[in-house]
């Protein structure tokens, strides 16, 4: 999940950023409301963790400007304001949840997971990426219109990679989320199943090779192929593509968090 933290308390923001990164999320941190709005407009994060007391634009102003324009972004508000009316106002402006300071990281993480589950439940039940279609209701997979037979675990792995929408998924993240195993399990099951998927997804009439369906990002993990023509500036170059791009055109923080209560 792509998370944007909008928090002007640098120590708290960095703490939350590190904790959510260890949970496998792609996390960005900005320090004021205007920067939060600008980032949300450009990158459309899945979740915004929004403090209320911010410079330039406070959290209420951010919600007012987002209202009706960023429907794809869930918002978790952080606040030290005890008035129920403030929290009600946030919810009426489109926030999905409010968390009162001080809080524990474990509670924040649980609320983030709940918002993600809610988001996935309401999302389109057919995922599409790079010619691959995955129907999450009847568990059918096709590529270029041809049916692909997958085992249950192959399906779960492909679903997770497609939900990442081109984001690199580390092996430890895949072990934890797909296999419910410890990242330190010392197994190569992720690599084995990625190879299974590559073989099955490559056996279609498409001229794109199997190794282009799921790419290996050196030292990081795996991602669904974006194709060189769609790769954003500065994106990591997966193994096997370096040569073609050289030429022209070419719960760790489970302890209670005494967050500041002035926001």
> What is the pLDDT at residue 106?
92
> What is the pLDDT at residue 59?
93
Q: Is pLDDT at 32 greater than 50 in this prediction?
A: yes
Residue 14: closest CA among 33, 29, 4: 29
- 130-141, pLDDT tens digit by residue? 788 988 767 889
Q: Is pLDDT at 230 greater than 80 in this prediction?
A: no
pTM above 0.75, yes or no: no
Contact 170, 164 (CB under 8 A): no
- For the stretch 212-232, what's the b/e string if a residue is b when 16 or more beta carbons lie within 10 angstroms of its beta carbon? bbbbbbeeebbbbbbeeeebe
Contact 57, 30 (CB under 8 A): no
Q: Using CA atoms, how far apart are residues 66 and 230, in angstroms rounded to an integer?
A: 28
Q: Using CA atoms, how far apart are residues 105 and 120, in angstroms rounded to an integer?
A: 22
Q: Is pLDDT at 197 greater than 90 in this prediction?
A: yes
Q: Is pLDDT at 123 greater than 50 in this prediction?
A: yes
Q: Is pLDDT at 254 greater than 70 in this prediction?
A: no
Q: Is pLDDT at 20 greater than 80 in this prediction?
A: yes
> What is the pLDDT at residue 118?
77
Sketch out the chain's domains with CATH numbers: 2-122 (3.40.50.2300), 126-226 (1.10.10.10)
Percentage, residues of the chain above pLDDT 90: 41
Mean pLDDT for 235-250 is 39
Residue 174: closest CA among 148, 154, 200: 154
Q: Whole-number mean pLDDT of the chain?
A: 80
Contact 10, 49 (CB under 8 A): no
Mean pLDDT for 209-222 is 79
> What is the pLDDT at residue 262?
44
> What is the pLDDT at residue 234?
45
With bands split at pLDDT 50, 70 and 90, how would you rate the model's confidence at 226? low
Mean pLDDT for 35-41 is 91
- Which whole-number Å values give the CA distances from 105 to 15, 112, 135, 259, in the listed order? 9, 10, 34, 10
> What is the pLDDT at residue 15?
96
Range name among 28-32, 177-181, 189-193, 231-235 with the lowest pLDDT average: 231-235
Residue 253: closest CA among 9, 7, 33, 11: 11
> What is the pLDDT at residue 114?
87
> What is the pLDDT at residue 12?
95
């Amino acid at each position: 999940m792509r998370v944007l933290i909008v928090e002007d308390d640098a120590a708290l923001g960095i703490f939350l950023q590190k904790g959510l990164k260890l949970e496998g999320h792609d996390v960005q941190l900005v320090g004021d409301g205007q920067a939060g709005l600008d980032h949300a407009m450009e990158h459309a994060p899945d979740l915004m963790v929004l403090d209320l007391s911010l410079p330039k634009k406070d959290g209420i102003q951010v919600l007012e400007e987002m209202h009706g324009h960023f429907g794809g972004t869930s918002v978790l508000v952080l606040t030290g304001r005890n008035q129920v009316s403030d929290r009600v106002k946030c919810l009426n402006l489109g926030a999905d949840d409010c968390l009162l300071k001080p809080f524990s990281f474990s509670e924040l993480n649980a609320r983030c997971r709940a918002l993600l589950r809610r988001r996935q439940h309401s999302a389109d039940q057919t995922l599409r990426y790079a010619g691959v279609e995955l129907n999450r209701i009847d568990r059918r997979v096709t590529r270029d219109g041809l049916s692909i037979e997958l085992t249950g675990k192959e399906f779960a792995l492909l679903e997770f990679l497609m939900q990442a929408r081109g984001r690199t998924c580390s092996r430890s993240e895949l072990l934890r989320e797909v296999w419910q195993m410890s990242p330190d399990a010392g197994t190569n099951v992720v690599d084995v199943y990625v190879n299974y998927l590559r073989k099955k997804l490559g056996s279609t009439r498409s001229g794109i090779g199997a190794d282009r369906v799921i790419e290996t990002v050196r030292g990081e993990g795996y991602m669904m192929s974006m194709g060189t023509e769609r790769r954003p500036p500065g994106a990591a170059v997966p193994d096997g593509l370096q040569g073609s791009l050289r030429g022209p055109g070419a719960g760790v923080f489970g302890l209670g968090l005494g967050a500041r209560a002035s926001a």
